[in-house]
Amino acid sequence: WRARPSVRVAWSAMPSQKLAQYDLTYRMAPFLDRHLVFPLLEFLQVRELYPVREIMEGKIQLLGKTNMVDFAMDIHKALHETDDVPEALVERRKEVVAHMKSLQQDAETIVQFLSDPATVSKLRPDKLQNIQMLQEEHQIGAPQIDALYHFAKFQFECGNYSAASEFLTYYRTLSTDVVKNFSALWGKLSSEILMQNWDVALEDLTRLREIIDSQAKVPPLVQLQQRSWLLHWALFIFFNHENGRNLLIDMCFHDKYLNAIQTQAPHILRYLAVAVVISKRKRSVLKDLLKIIEQEGHYYQDPVTQFLVCLFVNYDFEGAQEKLRECDEILANDFFITAYRESFIEAARLFVFETYCRIHSCIDMHALAAKLNMNDEEAEKWIINLIRNARLEAKVDVKAGTVVMGSSQPSVHEQIIEKTVNMAMRSYNVAYQARQSGVAVAAAAGLEG
């Protein structure tokens, strides 16, 4: 498991589909398992950013390295509008079936053991005790446990993610092979993501992160690569889990993962920017985010990151207005953040409004509406709702068509909150580092299983 270089598909954006230039799939794919690329291709096919034929050819290329031969045959038939399939696929199917029978035979004993709740109940947290019990009572040893790993991987490659997850969970309970245990955890994480079990996937993600960060003898370059993979896999979870956006921000602003973003994956800044904008609890990191975006501007930029620079660095409201319009289209065509399109636009408009209000005491409604990409009536209703919800101290002069801003100073309580808002994240980082130091010491002493 872990990320394997996915097949690069020669996609050619059609002239009428300029949004394809901001599609990040080709950047993301090398950091993802092949199976995790399939949902992205399905999304692109629905959005029609590329010719459907090219997407389908890309799917067949990806499937060529898996055991989902029947799926590849179906796509080939649909692509070429025929019932005939290449002889290579027919032979490949025979190989997969033969391999399946061989793996089933090798893993039969241990699979039967795991299929019986009465025998499974005998398993204990102590791996050595489990191995001894399996050997003495069921004649199951290291070869059978290793066969379970290969059988689980085969099930995963067949697209049977439920069985793969179950077998990998048991394998990690029984095996003392550190390398394969680590690989199995990547496979289980991928399976949970593909089954959309976000809570379980988050637990696996956290466990993987702890292992990666506590590897004392792994070369720094390897750790950097692993963190880059983990950041990309985490996007599936963080944009579907209830508290995912805040967790994404915490993870990305951790020094080691920020280093991975800056050196290998600056495109992750798009997702970090979206998370910061829509997360009310994490607005305090906006200044830090802007510094990173400016530093990485020569290597990566898109309308999402440029919107923040235009608004908060250059105070270019016209430029921000144009970028916000492009953001609306980009979010609609991005697999991970399409569900947050409306939330982002609403929060971004509020940013524009708040920034504009800081430098004006009386604002023309028509000019403000233009900067918010709204008509006059929509802008008036939007501002009135802000006032009603106590999010804005201002008055609307309907006859004059203006918004008159209040001039109250923040209370002492608000000033204290503003100055201490970063303490929670700092405390978390300190505690996390302390915990990792303890894990690293345990691993060095041979206590890590």
How crowded is the C-beta side of 438, counted as CA atoms within 13 Å?
6
Task: Compute the radius of gyration of the chain from its Cα atoms.
Answer: 26
Residue 166 CA to residue 114 CA, distance in Å, equals 10
pLDDT for position 130 = 87
Contact 189, 197 (CB under 8 A): no
How crowded is the C-beta side of 314, counted as CA atoms within 13 Å?
13
Instruction: State CA 164 to chain mean position distance.
Output: 21
Residue 190 CA to residue 164 CA, distance in Å, equals 10
Contact 115, 64 (CB under 8 A): no
Cβ neighbours of residue 48 closer than 8 Å, sequence gap 6 or more? 17
Task: Name the residue among 147, 149, 146, 8 with its Cα closest to residue 65.
Answer: 8
Beta strands in 8-48 (DSSP E): none
Per-residue pLDDT of the chain (449 residues; tens, 9 = 90+): 554 444 444 444 443 355 678 999 989 999 999 999 999 999 999 998 888 999 999 999 999 889 999 999 999 999 999 999 999 999 999 999 999 999 999 999 999 999 999 888 888 888 888 889 999 888 999 999 999 999 999 999 999 999 999 999 999 999 999 999 999 999 999 999 999 999 999 999 999 999 999 988 899 999 999 999 999 999 999 999 999 999 999 999 999 999 999 999 999 999 999 999 998 777 789 999 999 999 999 999 999 999 999 999 998 988 999 999 999 999 999 999 999 999 999 999 888 888 877 777 777 888 878 877 888 888 888 877 877 765 666 777 777 788 777 654 555 565 566 566 556 656 666 666 666 666 555 555 543 44
pLDDT for position 166 = 96
Contact 130, 174 (CB under 8 A): yes
Per-residue pLDDT tens digits for 410-434: 555 655 665 665 566 566 666 666 6
Cβ neighbours of residue 225 closer than 8 Å, sequence gap 6 or more? 264
pLDDT for position 371 = 76
Residues 249, 252, 256, 262, CA torsion sign: negative
Written as six digits, the tokens of 299 are 């290597």
Contact 279, 249 (CB under 8 A): yes
pLDDT for position 122 = 85
- Name the DSSP class of 383: H
pLDDT for position 413 = 61
Contact 4, 33 (CB under 8 A): yes
Residue 437 CA to residue 448 CA, distance in Å, equals 13
196: left (phi over 0), alpha (psi -120 to 50) or beta: left
User: What is the rounded (10 degree) CA torsion for 413, 418, 419, 420?
Assistant: 90
Cβ neighbours of residue 436 closer than 8 Å, sequence gap 6 or more? 210, 213, 214
Cβ-in-10-Å burial (0-12, 13-18, 19+) of 199 comes to exposed
Angle at 216 between CA 212 and CA 222, to 5 degrees: 55
Single-letter amino acid code for the residue at 172: R
Residue 270 CA to residue 251 CA, distance in Å, equals 15
Q: For 160, list phi and psi in degrees, rounded to 5.
A: -90, 75
Angle between helix 341-358 and helix 303-312 axes, rounded to 10 deg: 20
Task: Name the residue among 249, 254, 257 with its Cα closest to residue 277.
Answer: 249
Give the H/E segment covering residue 402. Answer: strand 402-405
Strands 402-405 and 394-397: antiparallel
The CB density around residue 123, as the number of other CB atoms within 10 Å, is: 17
Written as six digits, the tokens of 318 are 């016209």
Written as six digits, the tokens of 105 are 């035979």
Quickly tell me which residue has 């010719």 as its tokens. Answer: 51
pLDDT for position 353 = 82
User: What is the rounded (10 degree) CA torsion for 359, 361, 365, 371?
Assistant: 10
